[in-house]
């Protein structure tokens, strides 16, 4: 079935690294995504990873993909108070070619000064 | 390009009333999606259009829900005989048909409250 799981809460101190974990179920997903949602704002694509990669780095963000275990993680280096938000992991199964997104519940990241 | 827009941003209605929401996707984006997000949850897929054709509807979309995209541009989502359980944020997203990694661009959402 379609199911994406994430831990619900993470609290870190400013300047520390944050690691948000996700497990997904559909191995057909070509891309996996991390979206950010801030209060009162729309969902914003933070980064994505192609399924044949195991790591992608983009400035302070590092995405790790373990396709065997269907595990995805997002590491934010030097976390800032402005990073406080809800982070959603999403997969896009290839079945039907409609590319709809299947989402986790979101991880609420609190960054303490 | 101004991005995906949705109207209204907020809607409060009484149970049993009909409501209609509008989504204007980014120009030239062939694919359009509707999602629903309730508090503390991730978005849930509702329906998908490719141009004017509605190609998939979720089982979540009861017969009280109908969506259209008549000219392959803007889309409307109508809920008839609203129920309190319909209270949620309704999100619209669009993406080009041949997008490199299928980034979906989201609108700000319409928050529906059913009293």
Please report the residues numbered 22 through 41 in chain B whose beta carbons come closer than 8 angstroms to any beta carbon of chain A. Answer: 31, 33, 35, 40-41
Query: Does position B1 have pLDDT exceeding 60, yes or no?
Result: no
Q: Determine contact: A87 vs chain B, CB below 8 A.
A: no
Q: How far is A103 from chain B (nearest CA, A)?
A: 6
pLDDT in tens, A9-42: 999 999 999 999 999 988 888 889 999 999 878 8
Contact (CB, 8 A) for A34 and A89: yes
User: Would you place residue A1 in the very low, low, confident or very high pLDDT band (cuts 50, 70, 90)?
Assistant: very low
> Rounded CA gap, A76 and A58, in Å?
10
Range with lowest mean pLDDT among A29-33, B41-45, B83-87: A29-33
pLDDT in tens, A59-111: 999 999 999 999 999 999 999 999 999 999 999 887 667 788 999 999 999 99
What's residue A65's pLDDT?
Answer: 96
Of A44, A50, A88, the CB nearest to B42: A88
What's residue B2's pLDDT?
Answer: 75
């Amino acid at each position: 079935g379609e199911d994406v799981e994430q831990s619900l809460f993470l609290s870190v101190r400013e300047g520390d690294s944050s690691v948000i974990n996700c497990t997904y179920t559909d191995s057909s997903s070509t891309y996996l995504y991390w979206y950010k949602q801030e209060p009162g704002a729309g969902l914003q694509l933070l980064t994505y990873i192609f399924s044949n990669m195991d790591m992608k780095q983009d400035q302070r963000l590092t995405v790790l993909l373990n396709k065997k275990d269907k595990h995805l993680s997002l590491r934010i280096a030097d976390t800032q108070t402005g990073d406080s938000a809800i982070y959603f992991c999403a997969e896009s199964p290839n079945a039907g070619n409609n590319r709809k997104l299947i989402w986790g519940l979101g991880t609420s990241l609190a960054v303490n000064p | 390009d101004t991005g995906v827009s949705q109207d209204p941003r907020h809607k409060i209605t009484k149970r049993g009333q009909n409501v209609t929401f509008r989504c204007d996707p980014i120009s030239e984006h062939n694919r359009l999606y509707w999602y629903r997000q309730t508090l503390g949850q991730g978005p849930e897929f509702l329906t998908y259009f490719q141009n004017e054709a509605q190609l998939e509807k979720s089982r979540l979309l009861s017969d009280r829900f109908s969506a259209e995209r008549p000219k392959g541009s803007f889309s409307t989502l109508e809920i008839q005989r609203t129920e309190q359980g319909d209270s949620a944020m309704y999100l619209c997203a669009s993406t080009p048909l041949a997008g490199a990694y299928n980034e979906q661009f989201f609108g700000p959402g319409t928050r529906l409250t059913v009293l």
